[in-house]
Amino acid sequence: MSKSGGKVGRFRSGCGCAGIDVHCHVVPSSFPPAPGRMPMAGWPSMTAVKDCHATVVIDDKPYRTVSDACWVAERRIEEMDRAGIAVQALSPMPELFGYWLVSGPAFDLVRHVNDVIAALVQEGQGRFVGLGGLPMQDLDLAIAELQRTMQIPGFCGVEIGSNINGVPIGDPRFHPLFAEAERLGAAVFVHAVRPAGMDRLVGPAPLQQVLAYPTDIGLAAASVITGGLLQKFPKLRIAFSHGGGTFAALLPRLEQGYHTFPVVRDSLPETPLAQARKLYVDALVFDTEMLKRIVSVFGEDRVMLGTDYPFNFREKEPVSRIEQTFADAGLRERLTFRNALAFLALEEET
């Protein structure tokens, strides 16, 4: 097995239904108590499992009720077989990143979640690969955890937030982490978390996921472009959740701004349009026209199946969504699994 994941069992190329899902999450069935025996703001706990469900509790409030598919390999595999998914790339539920905790306890929490992912990867016998969390509020610890997880069999990279306590991931302060990710060949999957724009929502709580998540991931992708991240780390493989959110809609105006404002143009070595084609995004846009649009913007080799499994607000028919949108067999293959093979640096089983 290669450093970055290697071969994945049971994955067959050339099968239209053999999808790789780059966007799916893990929640452990339990959490250790907060260090120091005292309650700690932001530290998660789990209610007892009942009827295959449990509730993540944070700060004495229910954060999300989830099914045992979050932590039971067998349950996931049943549903993967039904949905035509050969391999899932497992990443933490973003609220478990713990960026808002003191870095020491956050490191403990992230390692706990990553160890649960590692156990699932092992149990899955080739059906899962890992994208671990990192304590990004402390870059030394984050780099240490990146190095540790990349030595775990089946780990292909990491999942990080669209912002770290409000700082977008295109900010130069995160360059040391990206330098190490590039050096190790670790895929970086960027997921919305604690998004901007919360004070602009009118309506019930799920609007955070519905509206503010795609907003924040769109701004994160833009920050990577305007911060010149891929000029600095040209071999970095970086993907954005939710089809890059609003980024594809921001891009034409960003391109126009590049050609209008000398101060924008001078800060970028390459046009935003050209840079956008170096990003990966998932296909989680719930819409045929949007899917066409992101393939047009990012390129046919840059969009990858992603579902948000096992949460309820997910793409339930990811393979047929792609098949309904595109007739070309080669393009379908690329979106269903081939682009994910490249992003995750996996080899096809022959």
User: Which stretches of the chain bind a second copy, using CB under 8 A?
Assistant: 163, 166-168, 170-172, 196-197, 199-207, 209-211, 214-216, 218-220, 222-223, 226-227, 242, 245-246, 248-250, 252-257, 260-261, 263-264, 267, 285-287, 289-290, 293, 296, 312-313
Q: Which is nearer to a second copy, 137 or 223 (CB)?
A: 223
Q: Which is nearer to a second copy, 179 or 207 (CB)?
A: 207
Q: List 58's β-bridge partners, or say none.
A: 44, 61
Q: Which is nearer to a second copy, 56 or 341 (CB)?
A: 56
CB of 186 to a second copy, least distance (A): 22
The Cα–Cα gap between 12 and 350 comes to 7
CB of 94 to a second copy, least distance (A): 16
DSSP string, 57-96: EETTEEEEEEEGGGT-HHHHHHHHHHHTEEEEEEEE-GGG
User: Do 93 and 58 form a contact (C-beta atoms < 8 A)?
Assistant: no
User: Do 238 and 199 form a contact (C-beta atoms < 8 A)?
Assistant: no
Q: Which is nearer to a second copy, 52 or 210 (CB)?
A: 210
The Cα–Cα gap between 23 and 2 comes to 22
| 116 token code pair | 């649960």
The Cα–Cα gap between 234 and 155 comes to 22
CB of 203 to a second copy, least distance (A): 4
In eight-state DSSP terms, residue 244 is G
CB of 135 to a second copy, least distance (A): 21
Alpha helices, DSSP H, located in the chain: 73-83, 103-124, 139-149, 175-184, 207, 213-226, 229-232, 247-260, 262-265, 272-276, 288-298, 318-325, 329-333, 339-344
CB of 31 to a second copy, least distance (A): 26
CB of 207 to a second copy, least distance (A): 6
Q: Which is nearer to a second copy, 219 or 238 (CB)?
A: 219
Whats the size of the chain, residue-wise? Answer: 350
CB of 130 to a second copy, least distance (A): 27
Q: Which is nearer to a second copy, 152 or 290 (CB)?
A: 290
Q: Which is nearer to a second copy, 66 or 285 (CB)?
A: 285
The Cα–Cα gap between 193 and 214 comes to 10
CB of 321 to a second copy, least distance (A): 11
User: Do 294 and 248 form a contact (C-beta atoms < 8 A)?
Assistant: yes
Q: Which is nearer to a second copy, 171 or 347 (CB)?
A: 171
